[in-house]
Copies of this chain bind each other. A is one copy, B any other.
Amino acid sequence: MKEVIFFDIGHTLVTGAEASPRRLIGAALDLKERDIKRIGKLIMTENAETPDDLACLLSQELPHISPGKIFEAVRTVWEEQYTCVELLPGADKVIVRLLQMGYTLGIISNIWHPFFQGFSAKYPDIVSLFEYKVLSYRAGVKKPSPDIFLKAVKEANIDPSDCWMVGDTYELDIAPARTSGFRTVWYVIRPDRERDAIAGILRGELPGPDYAISDLMELVPFFENRL
């Protein structure tokens, strides 16, 4: 029986910039929180493959800011994000071992072009191992929308119950994957950002994941034992 294991990218497989592009561009342009949120959605869901394409789209959203400033900010952050990708320790080993076991691998990620491009340029051998790549900026929709999980299911032509989602964020990875019928593994790597979710699950008010790991290597025995 075919099973697909989908991974989140940022903070599950790789680390990179110390903040999201919306935060970095927002800081460079001194944006208000409401504007940061709005451009965040745009950055992650518009298929902009050059900094200038994205800057044009942002200029329409931010008419009160000079286009020159926007172009400069986008180019700077774009370049940083292209170069900052670092594979998390052990991620390559885990990926290879899961493939050897016969699992099919995929990605479901809220991501924009430069970060994915940087990931692909620096680790081409790793990226090529993922058969399905469902990227928000190409899909036009981002997590936690169930639509992005539905797209993944369609692309893999598989039942959701044969899909796994491995990710670090309860709100973006675990909760929506679960309601989309996936099985879930929560990678507890940045729990400081997940305090409410952790407490909620421990209280029994939120549904827990099917499995949890504090080290990516723990995926190996878990998926091995399922065969």
State which residues 147-204 of A face B: CB under 8 Å.
Answer: 186, 188-192, 194-196, 198-203
- Chain B residues with Cβ under 8 A from A191's Cβ? 188, 191-192, 194-195, 198
Q: Tell me, yes or no, whether A29 is within 8 Å of chain B by CB.
A: no
Q: How far is the CA of A212 from the CA of B213 in the complex (A)?
A: 20
Q: How far is the CA of A202 from the CA of B210 in the complex (A)?
A: 8
Q: How far is the CA of A213 from the CA of B211 in the complex (A)?
A: 21
Q: How far is the CA of A211 from the CA of B189 in the complex (A)?
A: 22
Q: Tell me, yes or no, whether A144 is within 8 Å of chain B by CB.
A: no
Q: Tell me, yes or no, whether A208 is within 8 Å of chain B by CB.
A: yes
Q: Tell me, yes or no, whether A15 is within 8 Å of chain B by CB.
A: no
Given A199-B218, A202-B208, A203-B211, 7 further pairs, Cβ under 8 A: A188-B195, A191-B195, A196-B214, A198-B198, A199-B213, A200-B212, A202-B209
Please name the 7 residue pairs, one residue from A and one from B, whose CB atoms are nearest each other, closest first: A202-B212, A191-B191, A195-B214, A199-B214, A199-B212, A188-B199, A196-B214
